Amino acid sequence: GAVVSQHPSRVICKSGTSVKIECRSLDFQATTMFWYRQFPKQSLMLMATSNEGSKATYEQGVEKDKFLINHASLTLSTLTVTSAHPEDSSFYICSARVGTSAYNEQFFGPGTRLTVL
Amino acid sequence: TQLLEQSPQFLSIQEGENLTVYCNSSSVFSSLQWYRQEPGEGPVLLVTVVTGGEVKKLKRLTFQFGDARKDSSLHITAAQPGDTGLYLCAGDGNTGKLIFGQGTTLQVKP
């Protein structure tokens, strides 16, 4: 299957700082990537859809000025959590849709555990 | 709003037992995916079903898509401790986004 990487896998930061998370499709081009947030033992919550070369589309209730998304190339999307606070602590996962697939199959990165102190 | 109701949310069974996880909706999906996720990792795609009534098998796992493409099930035969994890169903509602079920946390005890 298609491989998606995420970096870093874990990050601990102080309240008020910004954190950038990278999501890369390693062996395919992804015109569309997705960013999810997940709380312990819960399902995935879609935060935003990232399209290469255009502005991200955010889900209702997600602050676009706080969660900045950039999809500058067909293999890289980044999520920047600005002015992070303890309530932003969570598991963030990205996924990429394979453009050649006839179905909306998404391949997920390994996730990033963010802890804000 | 499209919803996928997944049940049960938690399941703890002994090794060797069989189990079934269900995903139900009032909406029609063009395809439905099943994922398995281990703690601290991202979900891994197990299977995609696209045709009403379709049945797919992956070793001891059997996936079925309802005739009307509104529901799906995952059946595991003779569960093993290695099957432990979070199972997620996700439907493609033709919005470009996947609609996820609430997830089923499965624990298989040796």
Dump pLDDT digits (tens) for B78-97.
Answer: 999 999 999 999 999 777 88
For residue A106, give both structure tokens. Answer: 């998404």
Q: Which of B7, B41, B69, B102 to mutate to test the interface with A (most CBs of A within 10 A)?
A: B41
Distance from CA of B33 to the nearest CA of A (A): 7
The reply to whether residue A103 touches residue B31, judged by beta carbons under 8 angstroms, is: yes
pLDDT in tens, B3-40: 899 999 999 999 999 999 999 999 999 999 999 999 99
What is the per-residue pLDDT for A100?
A: 64
Is A41 near chain B, with CB under 8 Å? yes
Distance from CA of A31 to the nearest CA of B (A): 12
Q: Which of A46, A111, A113 is opposite residue B97, by nearest beta carbon?
A: A46
Backbone CA torsion sign across B81, B74, B48, B5: negative
The reply to whether residue B45 touches residue A6, judged by beta carbons under 8 angstroms, is: no
Q: Which of B94, B97, B105, B106 to mutate to test the interface with A (most CBs of A within 10 A)?
A: B97
Averaged pLDDT, groups of 10, chain A, 117 residues long: 92 97 92 93 92 90 94 91 96 87 84 97
For residue B104, give both structure tokens. Answer: 């089923």
* Cα–Cα distance measured from residue B87 to residue A9, given in angstroms and rounded to the nearest whole number: 22
Q: Which of A1, A49, A110 is opposite residue B41, by nearest beta carbon?
A: A110
What is the per-residue pLDDT for A85?
A: 96
* Cβ contact B109:B58 at 8 Å: no
Is the pLDDT confidence value at B102 over 80? yes
Distance from CA of A99 to the nearest CA of B (A): 12
Q: Would you give the distance in Å from CA B21 to the centre of its chain?
A: 6
Chain B residues closer than 8 Å to A1 by CB: 45
List Cβ neighbours of A112 (8 Å cut-off, separation of 6 or more). A6, A7, A8, A9, A10, A11, A21, A91, A92, A93
Query: B24 phi and psi, to 5 degrees?
Result: -130, 145
Instruction: Give the strand pairing for B44-49 and B98-100.
Output: unpaired
Give the model's confidence band at B52: pLDDT under 50 very low, under 70 low, under 90 confident, else very high.
very high
Cis peptide before B8 (omega within 30 of 0): yes
What is the per-residue pLDDT for A98?
A: 77
* Cβ contact A110:B41 at 8 Å: yes
What is the per-residue pLDDT for A107?
A: 93
